[in-house]
Amino acid sequence: MFRSKMGELTLHVSSFVAIGKALMPLPDKWHGLQDVEKRYRQRYVDMIVNPDVRDTMIMRSRLIAEMRRFIDERGFYEVETPTLLHVAGGAAARPFIAHCNALDQEMQLRIATELNLKRLIVGGMERVYEIGRIFRNEGIDTTHNPEFTMLELYAAYWDVSDMMEFNEALIAHLVSTATGGGTDLPHGDATISFARPFARIEYLDAMAQYSDGKYTRDVLLDPAGAQAIAHELGLPRSPTHGHALDKIFERVLEPHLVAPTFVTGYPVAISPLAKRRAGDPEITDRYELFCARMEISNAFTELNDPDDQRARFEAQVADRISGDEEIPDPDWDFVRALEYGMPPTAGIGIGVDRLVMLLTGQRSIRDVLLFPLQRQHG
């Protein structure tokens, strides 16, 4: 080591060996890499010149590891289920289609892990979960990517209330991990408190509240009434009752859900795999957790009546014929699995990417994916 003529500390090199070639110049140090499309296409450069991007990806890794630790400590087994399926079910989404040369059959990439995980509950693995990639052939925006990561978890002898308690504890723990022990997360110019308990509102009550009492239970649960509301809101005509309810919810209620809020008691029309609420057959024991105007998790007491499940699949067939392309083909083998007996079970799905967005203060899902899907040039 010595000082140069300019007085700077310098190494006097007597010999060196090249350990790798660096043929491309890095972006200008002052301006950095600003082109958004180039940042996503050349993530390796983005991570070199924008250390905060690398920090976000490292935090994502740590949060998923902490999620696993939290779940494993509660007696769950992590499993891996197939990505290639003959019938991709468990959600309302259009699948990607692939061809299996070995079997000479058309296959579908999974849109959820739900049905296979519930088959494991039938088989006697009473607490199971999977953190895996899900593929849905749908649009790209700030909260949607065709390929994303989902945590799905199922517990025999739990109900939706048990799952809500677990869900709240997990989210609060991850917020504490991300903030170094705090309960508040920055969100834009404000903060969101994750102090327990989170808010809880009933789906139908909230829809009436945020429509000044116009969108009542009787109107929403009537297919014609829901279509009339959608038309009043200027929404495109929906092919099914459930589709209309989803679009109305997104317009009327979702913009108000900034603080962590459990929306409970979803209609059967939009909950084909959830158990009906005792004493109210039009409503299910289901909730969704919203925060920062995004759905973070979806959970319910699972439908374990094979006759009811068969009837709901048959109703979905009719909805698909009516034009709702997001409704999957029925998985009749899942009905057969239920006929062997599934214990009372609660399940949950958590969008890992959206959760990481929330915990790291990112506004786009592409900012928490290492290599987000991009349109190919030329």
Q: 174: domain CATH number?
A: 3.30.930.10
Q: Is residue 1 part of a domain?
A: no
Closest by CA position to 172, among listed 296, 45, 276: 296
Q: Residue 129 phi/psi, 5° resolution?
A: -150, 160
Q: pLDDT digit string (tens) for 278-311?
A: 999 999 999 999 999 999 999 999 999 999 999 9
Q: Is residue 361 part of a domain?
A: yes
Domain count within the chain: 1
Q: Is residue 69 part of a domain?
A: yes
103 is in which domain, residue-wise? 43-210+253-368
- What is the model's pLDDT at position 375? 85
Instruction: Give dist(CA 208, CA 206) in Å, integer.
Output: 5
Name the pLDDT band for 228 (thresholds 50, 70, 90).
Answer: very high
- What is the model's pLDDT at position 252? 97
Who's near 152: CB < 8 A, 6+ residues apart?
112, 113, 114, 117, 129, 130, 132, 347, 348, 349, 350
Q: What is the mean pLDDT of residues 27-54?
A: 84
Q: Is residue 239 part of a domain?
A: no
Q: pLDDT digit string (tens) for 168-207?
A: 999 999 999 999 999 999 988 899 999 999 999 999 999 9
pTM across the whole model: 0.91
Query: How many CB atoms are located within 10 Å of the residue 77 CB?
Result: 13
Beta strand ranges found along the chain (DSSP E): 2-3, 9-10, 77-78, 84-85, 97-100, 105-109, 127-135, 147-156, 184-187, 190-193, 199-202, 261-264, 276-277, 280-284, 286-291, 294-301, 345-351
Q: Is residue 81 part of a domain?
A: yes
CA 210 to chain CA centroid, Å, is: 25
330 preceded by a cis bond (ω within 30 of 0): no
Q: pLDDT digit string (tens) for 132-161?
A: 999 999 989 999 999 999 999 999 999 999
What is the percentage of the chain residues whose pLDDT exceeds 90? 87
Q: Is residue 25 part of a domain?
A: no
Q: Running DSSP on this structure, what letter comes out for residue 344?
A: S
DSSP state string for 260-326: -EEEE--BGGG-TTBPEETTEEEEESEEEEEETTEEEEEEEEBP--HHHHHHHHHHHHHHHHTT-TT
Q: Is residue 56 part of a domain?
A: yes
Task: Show the CA angle centred on residue 213, arms to residues 208 and 219, nearest 5°.
Answer: 65
Flag whether pLDDT at 29 surpasses 80.
Answer: no
Q: Is residue 242 part of a domain?
A: no
Flag whether pLDDT at 33 surpasses 80.
Answer: no
Name the pLDDT band for 9 (thresholds 50, 70, 90).
Answer: very high
